[in-house]
Structure formats: structure tokens, C-alpha cells
Amino acid sequence: METGTVGRTRLVQGPGLLLVWLYGVMSVGAVSRTAFEISTKFDRAPLAYTLSGVAAVVYVFITYTLVRGGETARKAALVCCGGELVGVLTVGTWTVVDPAAFPEATVWSGFGWGYLFIPVLLPVTGMLWLRRSRRS
């Protein structure tokens, strides 16, 4: 492994690589999905598509902070993972309790079952990894 990364904590190494890969996939998925939905059929389910947009922004931001590395980015990513978890749980519960508000699915519908529940697992593993990489 190269030693040219002076000063900045590398977050993309070991398990962090798998994490950033999954965040990258979710980013691409959520961004392209939202772009398509909002540009072609926004009127059909404005709430669901807006929430998909929020998810997309969160995924892109976390991916960016993970790739960038460093202590500030680590803290920012940690906060965002917390926010992401709250978002998944809130939206997930909302879609289960009040399905009528969601004529179309959003990324975090049913805690992300459409994405193999990765949306609800990612922030948890993300926070574990980000807490651990502070010590190393």
C-alpha cells in the first residue's frame, strides 16, 4: 500500500472499499432513478419522488466524503449516516403506516426492500466503520 497519504485518514481501505462501492451503487441508482422520475412523471407522486431526491443527495454526499477521506470528512460522513438511518426509518415507517400517501414507491419505501434492504443496512455498517477508523 502506498504511503503517500500523509495527514488524511484514508476511509477507502479494507471494509471501507466495500462500503464505498455500495454507496456508489446506491448513488448512481438513486440519482438516475430520481432524474428520470422527476423529469417524466413528477405529478404522479411528488412526495415519493422528492424523497427519492433527498436520498440521492445523501448518498452522493456520503460517497464523496468517503472518497475524500480525512477527519472532517469522517465526521461529516458519520453525521450523514446518522441522518440517513433516521431518514430510512422515518420514510420506511411512513410508507408502511400510510401507503395512500405514496402512489409510487420511493427509494426508502418499506425500509428499502426494493434494494434488498441495503438502504437500512448501509448506514449502520457505515457508522460502525467510521467510528472504528478514528482509532486507526
Partner 1 sequence: MAKATVRRPVGRRGPGPFPTGASASGLSCRNTLDVMLVALTVAVSVAALALAAWCGFAAYRDQPTKDWHFIGMAVVTVLAFVQLVIGVVQLARGEDPAEGSVIFVSYLIGAFAAVPAAGFLSLAERTRWGSATVAAGAVVLAVLEVRLYDIWGG
CB of 90 to partner 1, least distance (A): 25
Minimum CB distance to partner 1 smaller for 17 or for 101: 17
Number of helices (H), then strands (E), in the chain: 4, 0
Minimum CB distance to partner 1 smaller for 39 or for 98: 39
CB of 117 to partner 1, least distance (A): 12
Minimum CB distance to partner 1 smaller for 24 or for 82: 24
* 64-76 burial code (b ≥16 CB/10 A, e <16): ebbeebeeebbeb
3-state secondary structure of 85: helix
Instruction: For 13-47, give the DSSP string.
Output: STHHHHHHHHHHHHHHHHHHHHHHHHHHHGGG-HH
CB of 98 to partner 1, least distance (A): 27
**Residue labelled with grid coordinates 470528512:** 73
**Distance between CA atoms of residues 52 and 55, nearest Å:** 5
CB of 20 to partner 1, least distance (A): 8
Minimum CB distance to partner 1 smaller for 75 or for 103: 103
Residues of the shown chain interacting with partner 1 in the complex, contacts defined by CB under 8 A: 1, 13-18, 21-22, 24-25, 28, 32, 36, 116
